[in-house]
C-alpha cells in the first residue's frame, strides 16, 4: 500500500485479563508507526475474571480505545459480529485477545493488501499448542477444507486484515466459532480475493481455550453440519446476495 491506511483493530476477549492489556498496547504502538487514522476496539464477551477491570483502566489512558462489555456471553461469533459492525475505518484487522498471535505482525499483512486484494489471511508458521490440540486442529482443517471447498492454506487462522466494504455485501449469522468458516466461505463465494501471509502462533500463557472441550467440540460438529447444509447444499447466502445486487453487479 502506497498511502498510510485507515485501520480499525479489534479483539474479542473472554477471560483474557492476563493478556488483553499487552495486546491493546502492542496494537496501539504498532498503529502509531503506520498510520494517523486508527481505532482499537475490544468486544468483551461475558468474562468471569478481571478482564473488564483491565479494559476500564486502559480506556482511561488511551482515547482511541473503545470497549464494549457484555455481561451475557455473545459466543465467539457474536463477538466478531459486534466488532465488524462497530469498526469505522477502511480496513479491519482482528485477532483474538489471548495473545497466541502477535498484533505487531499486522505490519506483515499490509504489504500484501494490493489493489487487487480484499482480504489478507495469516497462516500459522508453527502451531504453539499441545499435541492433542494440534492433532484435532489438523483433522478439523482437512475436514472443513473438503466439506466447504476452501482454497486457503489455513482457514482457521484468526489473524486477518479485511477491507470494510466487503461487509456491505455479506451478512454473517453464526454465534459460535463456526463464524470463521462462514466468513471465509461467503467471501470466497462472492468472488473476493485473498492473499496469505505466514505469521507466528504462540503458546497460551494465560487462561484456557474456550473451544477444546468435548461438549463444545460436539456442539461445533453439529453447527458445522448445519452450516455446511446452508452454505454448500442450499447455498442460501448466494440467493440472498443475488436479490440484493443490481443486475450489472451480478454480471461482474
> In terms of Cα–Cα distance, which of 39, 90, 93 is closest to 68?
39
The whole-model pTM stands at: 0.89
Place of cell 447455498: 235
- What structural domains does the chain harbor? 6-250 (3.90.550.10)
- In this structure, the number of other CB atoms found within 10 A of the CB of residue 119 comes to 23
Query: Could you give the CA distance from residue 122 to residue 239 in angstroms, rounded to a whole number?
Result: 29
More confident residue, 230 or 135: 230
C-alpha to C-alpha distance for 246 and 124, rounded to whole angstroms:
38
CA pair distance 11, 27, nearest whole angstrom = 10
Mean pLDDT of the chain: 89
Which contacts qualify for 102-105: CB closer than 8 Å, 24 or more apart?
102/26, 102/199, 102/200, 102/202, 103/9, 103/23, 103/26, 103/27, 103/30, 104/26, 104/29, 104/30, 105/159, 105/199, 105/200
Give the alpha-carbon dihedral of 219, 222, 225, 231, to 10 degrees.
-60
DSSP letters spanning 166-213: GGGT------STTHHHHHHHHHHHTT--EEEEEE------SS--SS-S
Strands 91-95 and 37-45: unpaired
Lowest mean pLDDT among 41-55, 58-72, 185-199, 213-227: 213-227
Task: Indicate the SS3 state at residue 13.
Answer: strand
What is the average per-residue pLDDT within 38-48? 96
Q: Which of these ranges, 51-60, 87-96, 141-150, has the smallest mean pLDDT?
A: 141-150
In this predicted model, what pLDDT tens digit does every residue of 132-157 receive, in sequence order? 777 877 788 888 989 999 989 999 89
Nearest CA among 146, 143, 99, 151 for reference residue 123: 151
Name the grid cell of 185: 466461505
Amino acid at each position: 500500500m502506497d498511502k498510510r491506511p485507515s485501520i480499525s483493530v479489534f479483539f474479542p476477549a473472554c477471560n483474557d485479563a492476563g493478556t488483553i492489556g499487552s495486546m491493546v498496547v502492542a496494537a496501539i504502538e504498532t498503529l502509531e508507526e503506520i498510520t494517523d487514522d486508527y481505532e482499537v476496539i475490544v468486544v468483551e464477551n461475558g468474562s468471569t475474571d478481571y478482564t473488564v477491570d483491565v479494559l476500564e483502566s486502559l480506556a482511561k489512558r488511551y482515547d482511541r480505545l473503545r470497549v464494549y462489555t457484555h455481561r451475557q456471553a455473545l459466543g465467539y461469533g457474536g463477538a466478531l459480529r459486534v466488532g465488524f459492525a462497530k469498526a469505522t475505518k477502511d480496513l479491519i484487522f482482528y485477532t483474538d485477545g489471548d495473545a497466541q498471535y502477535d498484533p505487531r505482525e499486522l505490519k506483515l499483512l499490509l504489504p500484501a493488501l494490493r489493489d487487487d486484494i480484499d482480504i489478507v489471511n495469516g497462516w500459522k508458521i508453527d502451531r504453539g499448542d499441545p499435541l492433542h490440540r494440534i492433532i484435532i486442529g489438523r483433522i478439523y482443517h482437512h475436514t472443513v477444507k473438503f466439506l466447504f471447498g476452501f482454497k486457503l492454506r489455513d482457514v482457521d487462522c484468526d489473524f486477518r486484515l479485511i477491507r470494510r466494504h466487503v461487509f456491505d455485501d455479506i451478512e454473517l449469522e453464526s454465534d459460535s466459532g463456526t463464524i470463521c468458516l462462514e466468513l471465509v466461505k461467503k467471501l470466497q463465494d462472492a468472488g473476493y480475493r485473498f492473499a496469505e501471509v505466514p505469521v507466528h502462533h504462540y503458546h497460551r500463557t494465560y487462561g484456557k481455550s474456550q473451544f477444546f472441550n468435548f461438549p463444545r467440540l460436539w456442539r461445533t460438529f453439529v453447527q458445522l453440519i448445519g452450516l455446511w447444509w446452508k452454505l454448500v447444499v442450499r447455498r442460501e447466502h448466494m440467493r440472498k446476495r443475488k436479490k440484493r445486487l443490481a443486475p450489472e453487479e451480478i454480471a461482474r
